[in-house]
Structure 1
Amino acid sequence: MTAPLAVDGPAAPPRANGELLFTAPWESRAFGMAVALYEAGAFAWPDFQQALITRIAAWEAAPEGGWSYYTHWLGALEDVLALSDDVGARAAALAGRAPGHDHDTGNGHGHGH
């Protein structure tokens, strides 16, 4: 499964000569993280695209700071993950763990302290 990237429109990533354009290393990492999470089934791509369009529209309505497509991309990723039941359940499980048991060994008992 590959992420169906928009070629044009507000959700389309920046391109130069048809290739994706990243101006800083974190942008390519944010891009790759979103695609990998989508491919793992963490969210539906149309939901991500809508979250991205919403983020961009909000910025256009009240521009704050300079333009950064990937800042909006990362914000949209946070938005769709916040809506994911899996992420919410995992966050709640981690929040309920006793202090000092941050690393799960797979047996549900932390790392044996």
Structure 2
Amino acid sequence: MSAPLDIEGPAAPPRSNGELVFAEPWESRAFGMAVTLYDAGVFTWPEFQAALIARITTWEAAGEGEPYSYYGLWLAALEDVLTSVRAVSTDEVITRARSLAQRPPGHDH
């Protein structure tokens, strides 16, 4: 099984010459986690797409707030869908995010 990635539309990942584009290593890892969890049957792709589109829509509605980060929204959507299907709790996501945020720069793996 492989994730049916949109070629166009609000949930379409960034591409260059048809290839996926990742600016930072964490982006490709977030992408891979979502696809792997989908392949494992943890959630359906429509569930993930809906969560991603909701995150993008919320970002757009906020206006001049945070700079746009497709994979930042992707990761937030992944957290949303994992909590909605009860694969993890919201508290687990918050605790892990805080732990990762406290690591010194250069320790992104």
What TM-score results when the alignment is normalised by the length of structure 1? Answer: 0.75
- How far residue 84 of structure 1 moved from its aligned partner, in angstroms, is 1.1
> Which segments of 5 or more consecutive residues in structure 1 lack a partner in the other structure?
92-113
The one-letter code of the counterpart of 1:54 is A
RMSD of equivalent CA atoms: 1.2
Deviations 1:35-87 (A, max 9, x none): 00000111010010010000000000004221100000000000000011344
Partner of 1:80: 81
Q: Does 1:71 align with 2:72?
A: yes
The SS at the match of 1:11 is coil
Q: How does 1:9-88 map to 2 (within 5 A)?
A: 9-63=9-63, 64-88=65-89
Structure of higher CA gyration radius: 1
CA distance in 2, matches of 1:86, 1:57: 24
The one-letter code of the counterpart of 1:30 is A
Q: 1:76 to 1:21 in 2, by over 3 A?
A: same
Tell me how many residue pairs correspond in the alignment: 89
CA distance in 2, matches of 1:83, 1:62: 23
The one-letter code of the counterpart of 1:79 is D
What TM-score results when the alignment is normalised by the length of structure 2? Answer: 0.77
